[in-house]
Each structure stands twice: as C-alpha cells, then as structure tokens.
Amino acid sequence: MKSNFLPALRMTLAMLVLCCVLYPALVWAAAQLAPGHGDGVQLRQHGRVVGFANVGQQFSRPDYFNTRPSAVNYNAQGSGGSNKGASNPDYLATVKARLDTFLLQNPTLHAADVPAELLTASGSGLDPHLSPQGALVQVARVAQARGVAPGRLTELVKNNTEGGLLAPETVNVLRLNLALDALAPARK
C-alpha cells in the first residue's frame, strides 16, 4: 500500500496542476486573442450596451425583424434545445403555433414561404443569426410598420449579410435591427 501512495500522490498533484492551472491558463490566453477578449462582442447604441453579437435576443414587435425562436427564452446563462424529436406531438403543436402567429403578423405570406428557421429553435437556443431569406420574408411587415419603402429594407438586409464563399450567408438580427433604427427610427 505504501508503494502505491507516492505515485498516486504525484499523479494527483500533476493532474491538479494540469487541470486547475495550465488548462485554464491556456483557455484564458486563447480567449485574449478572440474578439471581445473572452467577454463577448458587445454591441452599443448611443453609448450603452444593447446586447452581444453572438447571443440571440427576442424581437416580437412588428417594426423589428424577428429572430429565431429560443428553447431557453434567450437566457444566455444556459443554452439548450427542446430535445423533442420532429415527430413529437408537443413539438409539432409548438411549431404550428409559431407558424400561425408568424402568418398573422405577416399576412402577405403563405405557410410555404416561411423558412423553417423562423419556426424552430436552434440547438443552443441562442442563435443570433438568420439566413438572408429568413430576414427578407419579413421586409413587407417591417416596411409597413416603419413607413419605409420595402426596397430600402431589402438593401439594408443585403448590407447586413455576412459570410459567403466558404461560409453560409447569415444576418445577425440584432445588428440588422440596430441598423434599422439608424435608418428609420421606430414610430411611437
């Protein structure tokens, strides 16, 4: 037993240093190279923080572009999906209710026009992005609510589209809505 004690103690100390000192230090150093230095990329408007670039937020007013639904109510302290399969009756009822609500808000659209991303939550529940198509189907509603020509909003969506070539094109909904406020302030 004594012959096993010293090797076990050495291994415990080595793993303690590796897991509690070296690994966290490596992760911290890598985070310093990332945008936001590990604290996330804050988006500001009029000098105050309005959100983070990589965390989705809920937009439900008709004069803003909606984002993806969230299974965690956009709570950035934890992430997660609904864990319900595509054939689960509760999940299908939730998606149907989201579709009905979206069609009420966007009466010029038909069910086939609505991209699935506007009806289903992402795996993390915090995805801040839509495809350009997911944003473009909302242009008519937002244009009417803001009193802006739909063509100007289509151009705004195109100007806020990122990616392409090797990455899929996406639109960060918070950045798009901030640009929308700069273009045409919301009516009171």
The C-alpha atoms of residue 20 and residue 94 are separated, in whole angstroms, by 43
Give the pLDDT of residue 82. Answer: 75
Give the pLDDT of residue 105. Answer: 94
The neighbouring-strand residues paired with 51 are 43
Query: Could you read off the pLDDT tens digit of each residue along the chain, which spans 188 residues?
Result: 678 888 899 999 999 999 999 999 999 888 888 777 777 777 777 788 777 778 888 888 999 999 999 888 888 777 777 788 889 999 999 999 999 999 999 999 999 999 999 999 887 878 889 999 999 999 999 999 999 999 999 999 999 999 878 889 999 999 999 999 998 777 76
Instruction: Indicate if the alpha-carbon torsion angle 45, 171, 155, 118 is positive or negative.
Output: negative
Contact between residue 64 and residue 156 where contact means Cβ atoms under 8 Å apart: no
Give the pLDDT of residue 188. Answer: 62
Of 114, 107, 144, 106, which is closest to residue 131 (Cα–Cα)? 114
Apex 125 CA angle, 119 and 126, nearest 5: 110
Longest CA span, the chain: 82
User: Within 13 A of 154's CA, how many CA atoms are on the CB side?
Assistant: 5
pLDDT digits (tens, 9 = 90+) for 107-118: 999 999 999 999
Give the pLDDT of residue 56. Answer: 83
- Please give the structure tokens belonging to residue 169: 């094109």
Give the pLDDT of residue 186. Answer: 73
pTM of the model: 0.78
